[in-house]
Structure 1
Amino acid sequence: MKHLEVVAGIIEFGGKILCLQKNVGKYDYISYKFEFPGGKVEPGESHCQALMRELNEELAMDIKIREQDFYMTVDHSYPDFEITLHSFLCRVNDCTFTLKEHKSFIWLKKMDLLRVEWAAADLPIVKKLMDDIV
């Protein structure tokens, strides 16, 4: 089975998290689901480099990602492929971005994250974020 190494940014602004809705895709089980922005790690890239590149490509956001921003890793098997998803906390001072690949977006407080339907691989991150509410 195909295995993908991917990264995701948990973008936080003003106490809310950016949630992006996928467009229709190759697989029905992830089409239109919500996810954290990010994507595949290219050969020779660090996780931080990959996430900075992906955030720029998907959202035109220029965010500096550091290793200490690491949040958690999720291993998930979908019916047609497996992923290892490395997530990073990205607190931003400016919430402007350009939606380039996704259908829609919503900013949600951590306690409200389950108001939308998440891609299965992102759910453990969502649940940990909700558990971490202070």
Structure 2
Amino acid sequence: MTQLLYGEDPEPSEPFPAGPLYVPVRPGPSGCTTRLFRTPLGHRTAVAFTSERTLVATLGSGQAWIRLAEPALRALTAPLGVTTVTLDPQFAAPAAAPAGVLAVRQPVPALRPAERGCPA
């Protein structure tokens, strides 16, 4: 076994996934806006998927997305104080209503199948 010098931890062999990721977006005033989510502990996180299939399985076929490399996603979300990127989350749930407030679900217009990206 190799001895670690200077108390440093070894680097992982592949710290980032290869290639662009599928990043969920929503229309914003200036074009596409990256959707941010919350971890189970309530911290904000950017979410990305390694395939369109996993994005659709988690968020549905109506979810708009763009392709971004992981460093570009981090650069977009860092000014917002978001430092975590969650890859291929297995579960997505709607936000819970605050205590004592009755939540009323509003229909969300779905994108047509041809509109996979964010409308211009």
Structure 1 or 2: more helix by fraction: 1
Please indicate the TM-score interval, normalised by the length of the shorter structure.
0.3 to 0.5
Larger radius of gyration: 2
TM-score normalised according to structure 2 size = 0.34
TM-score normalised according to structure 1 size = 0.32
Structure 1 or 2: more strand by fraction: 1
